[in-house]
Amino acid sequence: MLSKLPLLFLFPFTALLSQTTSQAPQPTQSGVTLRARTQLVVVDVVVTDKGQNPVRNLKASDFTLLESGRPQQIKSFEEHTGQSAKSPVATLPVNPPGIFSNYSSALTNDAVNVLLVDTLNTPVTDQIYLHDQFRKYLKTAKPGAPMAIFGLTTKLLFLQSFTSDPELLKAAIDKNISHSPLIGRVTGGNTLQSADEMSEIVATSGLGADPAQAAMMQQVVADLKQFDAQQTSFQSQLRAKYTLDAINQLARYLSGIPGRKNLIWFSGSFPLDVLPDGSINDPFTVVASSEAEYRETTNLLTRAQVAVYPIDARGATTSPNMDVSQSTAIYVDDPKRFNADEVKYHLTAAAENMTMFRMADDSGGHAFLNTNDLVDAVNKATAAGSHYYTLTYSPNDSNWNGNFRKIQVKLQQSGLNLAYRHGYFADDPDSP
């Protein structure tokens, strides 16, 4: 996170002192003002041992900080040890009748936890499991720890402001959030879409006996596959846009709250980049990228001091191609189709997981994938995000050219795990 610290110097600012007040000359003021400015980079570092327990009582001298391989001087250092009984809670202001405020109370000394329930990228059946897990979490949650809840459909929804009341949190998670029409139950499955259905019709009706008819039907099937792939790509692009826009809004809102914010994001994830599809005639027509939008999102998260903890709400996932709910008839006459569907599933799953890993890595959080114990994932995310060290430094390189600058944090003690954001884009802070 970059912040401006203006230093103002006025001269001349001293006057000769006299023995009597009446003889003291009036100080003269010059119209010349010198301004100096420095950019501070804020890095939150979570340090844990092999058992994922927080490591306490480290000193600034234990850390080595580098930017683009060059050592940086640590300007300030602070250890945050999580919520304590003495942590003050901001109280809601008392407004006169008829006056309303969007002010949210939150702890002023500790990290703030925010839950994002993503129904845009989470299948409906997995949302039911997510709600059950969240109710289980509330029964074991640390008392007195406030949390805010947001929802994500095709827009960001504010479900509950910061509160530690389990009944209010439970009511917020039980609110009827419409699910997204842009995602199905599984990724990369062999559900019979229009092209597959047409292939079965051709195979069972005998239309392929005539070579001319067979060629025509093959072209129709190829065109349908092309259309299906382009439609799927378009839906993925919409999901990426809606999701990044919502996280941008959330980052701007959280920037008004001081200190670190932990965004616990329940989602089925989404791919930032849509790769070529080798099963269609023109595989590059479906290619799309959201890298420019993603860069804006990471910059906003950095400035708002938000660490993202994505949790895959689908739990442990396996290939759906041999699931009993899927049709395997298409593999009887086309054995190569099974291998193609398997490759497509693994590529899509890897792209989705990569998004979660990148979002966590770029913000200093941690991604929880392929786990059915969502309660444990939330507990680990809140515990890790509540015990951290804040380091700041002023970069030696003052050339704000928009390039990515890599941040490295090292410890003298070995065998410890460090989680922090690994860089930032050096955009000009004076640019619009």
pLDDT digits (tens, 9 = 90+) for 143-194: 667 889 999 988 899 998 888 888 888 888 877 666 666 665 444 444 444 5
**Cα-based distances in Å from 345 to 198, 317, 318, 352, 354:** 22, 11, 9, 11, 14
The overall pTM is greater than 0.95: no
Q: Is the pLDDT of residue 1 over 50?
A: no
Q: Is residue 63 part of a domain?
A: yes
The DSSP letter of residue 332 is T
pLDDT score of 184 = 54
Considering the domain architecture, whether residues 335 and 239 belong to the same structural domain is answered as yes
pLDDT score of 251 = 94
pLDDT score of 185 = 45
Q: Is the pLDDT of residue 372 over 60?
A: yes
Considering the domain architecture, whether residues 194 and 317 belong to the same structural domain is answered as yes
281: Cα within 13 Å, side-chain hemisphere: 10
Quote the mean pLDDT of the chain. 76
Which structural domain range is residue 306 located in?
112-387
Q: Is the pLDDT of residue 402 over 50?
A: yes
Considering the domain architecture, whether residues 220 and 367 belong to the same structural domain is answered as yes
Considering the domain architecture, whether residues 194 and 224 belong to the same structural domain is answered as yes
pLDDT score of 71 = 94
Give residue-wise pLDDT tens across range 60-115: 999 999 999 999 999 999 998 865 444 455 566 678 888 877 665 555 456 789 99
pLDDT score of 250 = 94
Per-residue pLDDT, averaged over 244-269, amounts to: 90
State the pLDDT confidence band at 324, using cuts at 50, 70 and 90. low
The order of strands in the sheet holding 63-67 is 70-71, 63-67, 404-411, 423-425
Q: Is residue 105 part of a domain?
A: no
Considering the domain architecture, whether residues 383 and 393 belong to the same structural domain is answered as no
Give residue-wise pLDDT tens across range 197-252: 555 555 555 555 667 777 777 777 777 777 777 777 777 788 888 899 999 999 99
Considering the domain architecture, whether residues 271 and 251 belong to the same structural domain is answered as yes
Residue by residue, DSSP assigns 207-224 as GGGSHHHHHHHHHHHHHH
Considering the domain architecture, whether residues 117 and 196 belong to the same structural domain is answered as yes
Q: Is residue 91 part of a domain?
A: no
Q: Is residue 175 part of a domain?
A: yes
**Cα-based distances in Å from 149 to 5, 233, 292:** 33, 30, 28
Q: Is residue 431 part of a domain?
A: no
Considering the domain architecture, whether residues 178 and 312 belong to the same structural domain is answered as yes
Query: What gap in Å lies between CA 336 and CA 352, rounded to an integer?
Result: 25
Q: Which two tokens stand for residue 194?
A: 């229009």
Per-residue pLDDT, averaged over 358-372, amounts to: 88
Considering the domain architecture, whether residues 314 and 238 belong to the same structural domain is answered as yes
Q: Is the pLDDT of residue 18 over 60?
A: no
Considering the domain architecture, whether residues 208 and 261 belong to the same structural domain is answered as yes
Positive or negative torsion for Cα 13, 16, 17, 23: negative
pLDDT score of 202 = 56
3-state DSSP assignment of residue 418: strand
Considering the domain architecture, whether residues 68 and 206 belong to the same structural domain is answered as no
The label of the residue with tokens 């400015």 reads 37
User: Do 233 and 286 meet the contact criterion of CB atoms below 8 Å apart?
Assistant: yes
3-state DSSP assignment of residue 51: coil
Considering the domain architecture, whether residues 164 and 227 belong to the same structural domain is answered as yes
CATH number at residue 362: 3.40.50.410
Q: Which residues of 40-61 are buried (b: 16+ CB within 10 A; e: fewer)?
A: ebbbbbbbbeeeeeebeebeee
User: Do 156 and 94 meet the contact criterion of CB atoms below 8 Å apart?
Assistant: no
User: How many domains, in total, are found in the chain?
Assistant: 2
128-132, 217-221, 253-257, 283-287: least confidently modelled range? 283-287
Positive or negative torsion for Cα 135, 140, 144, 145: negative
Q: Is residue 99 part of a domain?
A: no
User: Do 140 and 105 meet the contact criterion of CB atoms below 8 Å apart?
Assistant: no
